Amino acid sequence: MLQTVSICVLLLAIGCTLAKHVELPAPYKDHCILDDKTNLYDPSKQFDIPWFDVNLDAPPSERWKQIGAAYKVQIKELIGVLIELITPIFPNAVDWADDVFGEMAPKLAQPYRDEIYSISEVTGIPLGQITMYNIFYEIFTVCTSIIAQDKDGHLTHARNLDFGLFMGWDPELHDWQISQKLRKMIINVNWIKDGKLLFKSNNFAGYIGIYNGLKPNAFSLTADDRFQLVGGYYGIFKWLFGLEADGKWMSWLARETLEQKTTYLDAKEHLMNTPMLSPVYYILGGSKKNEGCIIARSLNGTALLTELADAKNGWYLLETNYDQGQEDLYLDDRDTPGDRCMDKLSQKNAGFQGVFNVLSSRTNLNKLTTYTVLMSVETARFETILQSCPGECYPW
């Protein structure tokens, strides 16, 4: 019980201490690059991100060895920054991470438990630290996801992944320390089953859950955090105290859906109704006209379902980290500039180039943005492009 309480305290500490000694830059106004008739989309940049295979036919203990070995230095550096940020409040943060998250590891569901154990083994990083690395994304991710349908009914599904808010502002580089490290760890993954491609995703090396994935001719999926009072911390605490046996981690439910479900409708039902440990927005796209929706999840069900066919604009859905129709926080308004830029784009230009340019416009592009991913279920195109926002940008 004492160790469980320690985990709870440490999670709260991580969430509450990362803003210490941070000098935030002033927020800047939004700017749609389409106003300048600019095109920033360069498809050749997708080749800057390497591809790896994760073979689901192999034992879980073997699946991540190549990736873990290739990125062990980067994973260690990232965890080192996180430990450094919480050390001012917990001087023994390394011991805490090793002990309390190490105790947590045996309780994780299979096959994730064996995968995390193997990453720890191949990298030489303590088990507790690898476990912490695979859990703290459940709490700290802010993003923008878009599903856009052109005039011929072809769908583009895209997202910016923003991560690192309050995680160590670097006053010299004008960037967040965690975001800097993560940009060096972005990989694409081919998930193999029965000797064939099952689906595609991109990941941070050593992170076994999924925030973005595409199953060819079936569906595409992104996940954005949904901030609620009864949120990720609450679900994690319930799980730690043995009060929630069936709930799923948000990124593991996304992976499970991509592994097991074969149609857009099956994926939708699974994401809407499976008990969870943290609230989330699942943005789901298909291969057919009007196959797109935003599933606003609470822990035990769907709080709000927004269908592409019913979108107010008629051809796209844009999701950040607020319920559809809910007003954004003043200092975190990414919906208003995103909608303005999508309207400027227009439906006739709703392809990879157009949507990428929207996601490259402020404030949807910001200091936290690590990459943009572009997906088409119909054509199986999956492109990950490294992103950053130098100069005057929103800090979040």
pLDDT for residue 3: 46
pLDDT in tens, 113-145: 999 999 999 999 999 999 988 987 666 666 899
pLDDT for residue 2: 38
Alpha carbons 390 and 293: distance in angstroms, whole number? 32
| ∠ Cα 323 134 359 (to 5°) | 45
pLDDT for residue 7: 45
Tokens of 258: 């991509």
pLDDT for residue 235: 62
pLDDT for residue 363: 87
pLDDT for residue 283: 97
pLDDT in tens, 361-389: 988 998 889 999 999 999 999 999 999 98
Give 216's contacts (C-beta < 8 A, 6+ positions apart). Answer: 197, 199, 200, 377, 380
CB atoms within 10 A of CB 104: 20
pLDDT for residue 282: 97
Give 337's contacts (C-beta < 8 A, 6+ positions apart). Answer: 30, 31, 32, 361, 362, 363, 364
Sheet holding 219-225, edge to edge: 51-55, 186-193, 196-204, 212-215, 219-225, 280-285, 292-297, 302-307
pLDDT for residue 60: 98
Could you confirm whether 143 is annotated as catalytic? yes
Candidates 97, 75, 77; CA nearest to 86 is 97
pLDDT for residue 232: 55
Classify domain 1-396 by CATH architecture.
4-Layer Sandwich (3.60)
Alpha carbons 29 and 45: distance in angstroms, whole number? 27
Alpha carbons 42 and 83: distance in angstroms, whole number? 36
Residue ranges, the chain, pLDDT below 50: 1-26
Candidates 314, 285, 274, 136; CA nearest to 220 is 285
pLDDT for residue 239: 63
pLDDT for residue 367: 87
pLDDT for residue 100: 79
Q: Which of 8, 16, 32, 143 is catalytic?
A: 143
Alpha carbons 225 and 216: distance in angstroms, whole number? 25
Alpha carbons 83 and 100: distance in angstroms, whole number? 14
Task: Report the chain's C-alpha Rg in angstroms.
Answer: 20
Cα 388 to the chain's mean position, in Å?
16
Cα 220 to the chain's mean position, in Å?
14
pLDDT for residue 163: 76
Tokens of 166: 């309050």
